[in-house]
Amino acid sequence: METLNGDELCFPQLFNISCKKPLQRHAENIFIYILLSCISLLTVTLNLLVIISISHFRQLHTPTNLFLLSLSVSDFLVGLLLMPVRILQKGGCWVFGSFMCGFFNYVSSIITSASVGNMVLISADRYVAICDPLRYPNKVTQRKVKVCVCLCWAFSVLYNGVLLKEFLKNPDKYNLCYGECVILVDYITQTFDAIFTFLSPITVIVVLYMRVFVVAVSQARAMRSHIAAVSQQGSVSVSARKSERKAATAIGVVVIVFIISFCPFFVPAFAGEEFLSNEGFSVFTIWLFYFNSSVNPIIYAFFYPWFRKCIKHIVTLQILQPDSCDAIIL
């Protein structure tokens, strides 16, 4: 009969009920820990810069930026809460106890659902801005945006509370030994969640952006054909439309990257047992989705001059000066 050494157990003092540690490759693990820790720190820092920028500077208090602010909050929480716990769990043992197992999975589900909801709202915002620009200021107001964002987060909290109700009552139900944090849902619930949280939102996002792309292309052609004849007043309108299309392009890149990062996360729901039991694939999909939270602010910095200006104001501490919130950013 094989005997277990103390260093092979997650909790050596609980010899009879402790989980075994996986085989450790210390040099490789140290490199992975450092790399993932840097990604976590980068995610927190960049998204905090977005949050401070949009919150502080009055020029950035627009409906579209409020949606970006909500998305940045969810990305910030990924870097602050989810990534560090996953890094500590890299050793193969859950060391935070059963309550934190349930709480962590609940918070993780809330943030994931809220991110999806924010993407749908952002896509709808760009759809109205590009396809119905004359009525956009009346249709999309800051008050309506705040209500939509609050409802998005509230619904995410309620939906996942109902979905994980049984798991939250007994987080240890599916753990075979002490040191595991396993969450399982029945096939019907999993299928419903995949359709409601994945297929439906992704379908809406893709349809809206296909429509935005078609309208943006037609507008660009019309502008090129009439650019020589526009008056000064018309030039202002043209400039505004260019700005809207540029914003649509930037957010379109965010949406595309999000879909690429998010799709593998739900592959196990449709692929069968071989994927459900593949721990390596599961870890890869989780970190691919988390990495999306690091990429979004980089996309903002590439496409949005205002974000680069905000970073300069924050880093040089100009943000601490009186009336800095009224600085010209756009």
Decide: 57 and 321 in contact? Cβ < 8 Å: no
Quick one: pLDDT band at residue 270, thresholds 50, 70, 90? low
Q: Which domains does the chain have, with CATH numbers?
A: 7-223+232-326 (1.20.1070.10)
Cα separation, 157 vs 151, whole angstroms: 10
Tell which residue, 12, 42, 68, has the closest CA to residue 247: 68
Give pLDDT tens digits for 174-185: 888 888 888 877
Whether 275 has a pLDDT exceeding 80, the answer reads no
For residue 6, pLDDT over 70 is answered with no
Chain-centroid distance of CA 226 in Å reads 40
SS3 (DSSP) at 18: strand
More confident call, 238 vs 208: 208
Q: Which amino acid is at 254?
A: V
pTM listed for this prediction:
0.86
Q: Per the structure block, which two tokens stand in for 316?
A: 């040089």
Residue that wins the pLDDT comparison between 244 and 111: 111
Q: Is the pLDDT of residue 168 over 70?
A: yes
Give helix then strand counts, H and E, for the chain: 14, 0
- pLDDT > 70: what percent of the chain? 83
